[in-house]
Structures are given as structure tokens and as C-alpha cells.
Amino acid sequence: MVHHRKKFYLVATISLAIIVIMISYIERRILPFIPLVKKNLCQGIPADNTITPLKDNRTFIIAPYFDNRKNKMTRVIAIVHHKDVKELYCWFCHPSNDKIHISKAEIDVHSDRFDFPYGATDLHCPEPEDWEPHYVSIHWSPNGSINHLPLFEIKNREPEGSPVEFTVCISTMFGEYNNILQFVQSMEMYRILGVGRVVIYKNSCSPLMEKVLDFYIAEGVVEIIPWPIDSYLKAASRWRYSKDPKDIGYYGQITALNDCIYRNMYKSRYLMLNDMDEIILPIKYANWKTMMQNLQEQHPGAAVFLFENHIFPKTVFTLNDPFNFSFWRVTPGVNILQHIFREPDRKHLVNPWKMIVNPRKVVQTSVHSVLQADGDRVHVPMDVAFVYHCRTPLQPKLSRESLIKDTTLWRYNVTLIRNVSKVLQQIGL
Ligand SMILES: *[C@@H]1O[C@H](CO)[C@@H](O)[C@H](O)[C@H]1NC(C)=O
Ligand SMILES: *[C@@H]1O[C@H](CO)[C@@H](O)[C@H](O)[C@H]1NC(C)=O
Ligand SMILES: *[C@@H]1O[C@H](CO)[C@@H](O)[C@H](O)[C@H]1NC(C)=O
Ligand SMILES: *[C@@H]1O[C@H](CO)[C@@H](O)[C@H](O)[C@H]1NC(C)=O
Ligand SMILES: *[C@@H]1O[C@H](CO)[C@@H](O)[C@H](O)[C@H]1NC(C)=O
């Protein structure tokens, strides 16, 4: 009996050893030659709209951007309900990698929310240490399946193309915008001053405006980012909650501006954050390029340049019209060349600022100031440049005599009139 048992153990041990050796041989020699079918875990639904609502109806994703300027992370530009959204998770994946990495997002609602319940928000998603995710989904739980979640490609991982010098970010065109003449004049002024591209977050405009936009898209100047914010939220047309109590301020302007910063971070040397009825007008220099070269030389550490905003009421016209505008009268909209009277500064009130920024140094922006940046802020004096802003008056009771005549814009009259006329003709207006 004892003898038999010993024999059994011996055979069993030898067999086991042979099996172990065979397995390791197969593993080392044979397995590497059998193509491994790696499972693609990026099985969510590719998101291709600018605004993507999540299932909670409280979180709206704009886009994720790789950001390793301070900590290596994916920064997701979003809109969230500041009270209701307390917990979100980032689900990272890569199409040729059988791993999913889930990390908890830090939810950073921007401080400039102006009392609206929804605000521009950064979701800070820590990335996996040892691999580079290409996609991310956002979910309220770390549990469950990625399969039915919207899947976003992470942008800015590889800076591409050669950047232009100046890009104007127009945050939200809304209200069936139809101010054709002022739009074309602003566009031609931007071109004269040296713009590379104009990025417009478009909510709505008139059919005629659509035609004008198509012209500029074909010219390669305008890029349209669809901005259907009012399909998801009640959008205020004012910037403060008390003036228009809706879900989100001014058609989500602040979120659009922040998206514009990250979207163009490596596509443009400078970004100008202003509205369509505003033009940053150099006084001391002929164009934006020489202006910024000089300003940047004087302030090497500057990341943000602020320009004083001055109102030129569209209700106050020049008395003696030096130009012959008869051929523009059929075009709807304001003719800025007829508005060269500006409102004086108000006591106890500072004029708001508009900005030219180096996007690679900006972390978070608001409309009239940058909230977080790695660099100095420079207030550009009025004799160097200012913002020409032609709109309804802020001080409607002032008489013409109390306004200040300022014909800086007229310096460009010859080129501006010629170029605007040419464009209107080409569009068929
Ligand atoms: C989200 O909104 C949709 C459409 O308005 C509604 O059917 C759904 O019940 C909402 N979901 C939640 C979680 O509130
Ligand atoms: C996720 O699952 C774990 C383990 O089952 C559980 O402890 C945790 O509460 C779940 N988290 C959420 C947010 O559902
Ligand atoms: C404006 O017109 C001038 C003179 O006709 C022309 O040289 C220039 O290219 C035009 N500028 C733009 C930006 O189209
Ligand atoms: C103004 O322009 C129109 C159209 O080009 C022309 O018919 C008219 O004579 C011009 N008027 C003056 C005063 O130059
Ligand atoms: C129009 O521009 C020209 C050339 O830049 C200038 O000489 C002229 O004074 C301007 N016209 C007015 C009315 O300012």
C-alpha cells in the first residue's frame, strides 16, 4: 500500500512538473504569435454636438481638453447646476487598450455665475499614470457600464497646424441676429487690423445673415460653432439673474468664451474676447500686430491685455456725413461710420474692459476679466488703444453736446468703405 502511494505521488509530481513546463513554453513561445484580440472598451456613443446633456439633465458637456500645464489632467468644459451636481466621474478609455480608468472629477463651478443656477464649470479629471486615454465619458457613478454613455474625444493632446496671429471669439450670436451692415463692417475692420479667424458661437440669426456667414466661411475667415443652448436650458438675454431670472446668463456666454480659449489654445497666438459690435481700435499703432509686438515687449510677462470699452450710441449720428453712403442704405443694420460720438466716463463707474489674451496662459476666463491665468494683466491706456462699441446708449439722456467727438474709426474710411462695398457686392446685397 505504502509503496503504491509513493509511486502515485511520484507520478503526480512529474506530471504536474511537465504540465507547468508546457504551459510556460506555450506562453513564451506560442502565445506571442497568436494575435490577441484586445477588447475595444471605448463603446460609448460618440458625441458630436457642441452641447451634450447627460442623463441627469443637470450636467451639460461641451468638450474635454488635455491640460498638463500644472497637473496632468483632462479638463472638461461643462455647464452644471451649481447646487444639484455634487459628484461626477471621468471614465477614460483608449480604442487599442483593454483598460478603463475611472477617476473622480473635481467640480469647479466658475465664480462668475451672477446668481444663475447654472454656470460655466471645469471638471478636473485626473488621468491614468501609465497610459494616455483618447476618450472620456462623464457619469454620475463610478459603477455601471460605459456602453451607453456619450463618448468625447479628448482634444489638444497633440497641438496641430500652424497658428494664426489673431482670432476673435464671438460668444453667442442670438435673437435672429440681422445687423448685417455692422457685422460686415466689423468683419472688414478685423481684417484690416489683421485678424486670422473669427470664431462665432451661433445660437440664431436671420436667413440673410446666414448668407453673409456662408460668404465668410467660404473665405476661410469665419468658423461657426453651433450653440443651441436654449434647446436645453432657459437662456437669459441679460447677464445678471435679477434682471432676467432664467437658468443661465446671457446665452451661456462665459462657457462659450472658455471653450473658445481651449479650442484655439494652439491655433492662435492671441485671442480677442469681444462682441460683434466691438472693435479693439489701435490709436498709437497701425494694426494689431505692431500694437501687440510693442505691448508684449514692454510687458514680457503679460498674458492678459485689457482695453477700455467706450460706448458710441447708435442713436446719435454725425451732423455732416463726409462720405456718400447711398449705396449702403438698402443693407439692414447700423452704419458705424455715422457714429463717432462717444459717451463720457461716468462718475463712480469704471468702464468695462475687453481683452486680448495669450490662450496658453489662461486657465479660466470671464467676460471683462480673466479669473485664473499664469501671467500678468496689463491695462492698456486709452492713448494706445480702446474698444469702439457701437450700440444702444448707456446714458440716453445726454445731449449731443455732452458727448465726445472721436473720429479714430474714420482713419480707416477709404479702405473700410472700399472693402465693405466689395463684400456687399459679392454677397449680392
Ligand atoms: C430629463 O429630461 C427629460 C426630457 O425633458 C425627461 O423626460 C426626463 O425624465 C428627465 N430626467 C431626469 C432625471 O430628470
Ligand atoms: C459603487 O459600487 C461599490 C461596490 O459595489 C459601492 O460600495 C458604491 O457605493 C457604489 N457607488 C455608487 C456611487 O453607486
Ligand atoms: C481691403 O482693401 C484693400 C484695398 O483695396 C486691399 O488691399 C486689402 O486686401 C483689403 N483687405 C482685406 C482684408 O480684404
Ligand atoms: C453717391 O453715390 C451714388 C451711387 O454711387 C451716386 O449716384 C451719387 O451721385 C453720389 N452722390 C454724391 C453727392 O456724390
Ligand atoms: C479718410 O481717410 C483718409 C486717408 O486715410 C484721410 O486723409 C481722410 O481725412 C479721412 N476722411 C475723414 C473724413 O476723416
Q: Which of 305, 278, 308 is nearest to 292 (CA)?
A: 305
The yes-or-no verdict on residue 262 having pLDDT over 90 is yes
Question: Ligand 2, atom 5: nearest CA belongs to which residue?
Answer: 143
Least confident of 26-40, 111-125, 337-351, 354-368: 26-40
CA of residue 139 to ligand 2 center, whole Å? 13
CA of residue 417 to ligand 4 center, whole Å? 14
CA of residue 146 to ligand 2 center, whole Å? 15
For the chain, what is the domain count? 2
Pairing assessment for the beta strands 302-313 and 376-379 based on DSSP bridges: parallel
CA of residue 56 to ligand 1 center, whole Å? 7
Say if CB 222 and CB 211 are below 8 A apart. no
Segment 226-233 mean pLDDT? 97
- Three-state DSSP state, 176: coil
pTM of the model: 0.89
Same domain (yes/no): 343, 195 = yes
Best substitution site from 410, 417, 419, 420 to test ligand 5's pocket, by max atoms within 8 Å of Cβ? 410
Output the CA–CA distances (angstroms, integers) from residue 423 to 176, 183, 426, in the order listed.
22, 11, 5
Same domain (yes/no): 251, 141 = no
Segment 183-197 mean pLDDT? 98
Same domain (yes/no): 255, 363 = yes
Give the Cβ contact number of residue 330 at 10 Å.
9
Same domain (yes/no): 267, 296 = yes
Same domain (yes/no): 212, 120 = no
The yes-or-no verdict on residue 2 having pLDDT over 60 is no
The yes-or-no verdict on residue 183 having pLDDT over 90 is yes
Same domain (yes/no): 133, 177 = no
**Ligand 3 lined by 191 (C-beta under 6 Å):** yes
**Residue appearing with cell numbers 476618450:** 135
Question: Ligand 2, atom 10: nearest CA belongs to which residue?
Answer: 143
Same domain (yes/no): 74, 200 = no
- Three-state DSSP state, 236: coil
Q: What is the mean pLDDT of the chain?
A: 92
CA of residue 282 to ligand 5 center, whole Å? 16
Same domain (yes/no): 413, 336 = yes
> In which band, very low, low, confident or very high, does the pLDDT at 399 lie, cut at 50, 70 and 90?
very high
**Ligand 5 lined by 23 (C-beta under 6 Å):** no
> In which band, very low, low, confident or very high, does the pLDDT at 355 lie, cut at 50, 70 and 90?
very high
Best substitution site from 57, 59, 84 to test ligand 1's pocket, by max atoms within 8 Å of Cβ? 57
**DSSP secondary-structure letter at 345?**
P
C-alpha cell at 136: 472620456
Say if CB 136 and CB 154 are below 8 A apart. yes
Q: From the CA of 323, give the closest atom in ligand 5.
A: 13
**Ligand 5 lined by 322 (C-beta under 6 Å):** yes
Q: Range of 254's domain?
A: 164-427
**Ligand 5 lined by 413 (C-beta under 6 Å):** yes
CATH code of the domain covering residue 125: 2.60.40
Single out the residue in 103, 122, 153 at which a domain terminates. 153
Say if CB 146 and CB 43 are below 8 A apart. yes
Least confident of 26-40, 79-93, 288-302: 26-40
**Ligand 4 lined by 324 (C-beta under 6 Å):** yes
Give the ligand at the shortest distance from the Cα of 220.
Answer: 3
Same domain (yes/no): 228, 283 = yes
Same domain (yes/no): 331, 297 = yes
Q: Establish how many alpha carbons lie within 13 A of residue 104's alpha carbon, considering only the half-sphere containing its beta carbon.
A: 3
Question: Ligand 2, atom 1: nearest CA belongs to which residue?
Answer: 143
Residue 6 domain-assigned (yes or no): no
